[in-house]
Amino acid sequence: MKLLASDEREAAAPPADPDTTTETDSADPPVDSGDDDGTTPPPEDTGPSAPMDVDCTVREGITDASGLIEGSPVRLSSAAWYADPNGGAAWILLSPQPDACSQVAAYDRNDHSDRAIVIWMSDWEVGTDVSVPVIPEPEIVPGDGVAEAMATGWEPDLNLPVLMDHGQLMVRESETGGTLKVTGFDTWSEYGDTMEGSFSACWCPSVQAFRWPIIEDSSPPAPPPVYQELK
């Protein structure tokens, strides 16, 4: 066997394949995919959403609140409000129409077919930013110094108010004669009625002390009689 010199061995060796060359020093570090169990980390909590902006010289409030009243979908559009100048109470009307304040008279006469929401806040002062619970009306004690709210929807097919007995809303900004900005409005009843969203209401003295009217006969029409053949 012929032995090759070192120079001859290097010349005879095949060139290295660049595709198979490994560079361990430049390898990327492993990516952290979350917790040790491999799950994706939860999204970061960015806090409550910003209040909605509205120009009350252009439109009568704004809201993105939506939900269900007696099983029917509801999407509201405008918002009007008024606060007692002596303090302690405020009323809010959320309407599917673009002009909530202008709808008060029709709502009071029950001359409409809208599903809308009325909110009454007790023991709340204008300029106070606070989270207000929505509770049943019998549990509200005016004058006790605790800010609480009642929310009531209207079902036009039955001519009945629909009570929302649970939930909350967050007052973010308010000014007498100006706007009331609320976020995190979330209310519901045990019967599947729901409403949630945000709103910025424009000042409307017509809303003062507004409540849904009491209709003498609010029951649905009776079904037609069933006749049976006499035997």
Task: Give the tens place of pLDDT for each residue, 45-101.
Answer: 555 689 999 999 999 999 999 999 999 999 999 999 999 988 889 999 999 999 999
> Looking at the domain assignment, is residue 98 inside a domain?
yes
- Domain assignment present for 77: yes
Q: Are 115 and 95 in contact (CB under 8 A)?
A: no
* Long-range residue pairs from 146-151, CB within 8 A, at least 24 positions apart, any chain: 147/121, 147/122, 147/123, 148/121, 148/122, 148/123, 149/119, 149/120, 149/121, 149/122, 149/124, 150/119, 150/120, 150/122, 151/117, 151/118, 151/119, 151/187, 151/195
Estimate to the nearest angstrom the gap between the alpha carbon of 87 and the chain centroid: 27
Token pair in block for residue 132:
């207000």
Nearest to 180, CA basis, from 209, 200, 208: 200
**Amino acid 215: pLDDT:** 83
Stretch 108-137: mean pLDDT: 97
Average pLDDT over residues 191-219: 90
Total structural domains within the chain:
1
Mean pLDDT of 178-188: 97
Q: Which residue has the higher pLDDT, 174 or 22?
A: 174
68 inside domain: yes
Model's pTM, two decimal places?
A: 0.74
- Does residue 193 fall inside a structural domain? yes
12 within domain boundaries: no
Enclosing domain of residue 117: 62-207
Does residue 43 surpass a pLDDT of 60? no
How far, in Å, CA of 209 to CA of 76, rounded?
A: 21
Dihedral (Cα; 51, 55, 60, 61), 10-degree rounding: 0
* 29-38, 133-142, 147-156, 207-216, range with the lowest pLDDT: 29-38
217 inside domain: no
| 65 close to 77: Cβ distance less than 8 angstroms | no
Please report whether residue 177 resides in a domain: yes
Asked if residue 146 is part of any domain, the answer here is yes
Higher pLDDT, 17 or 208: 208
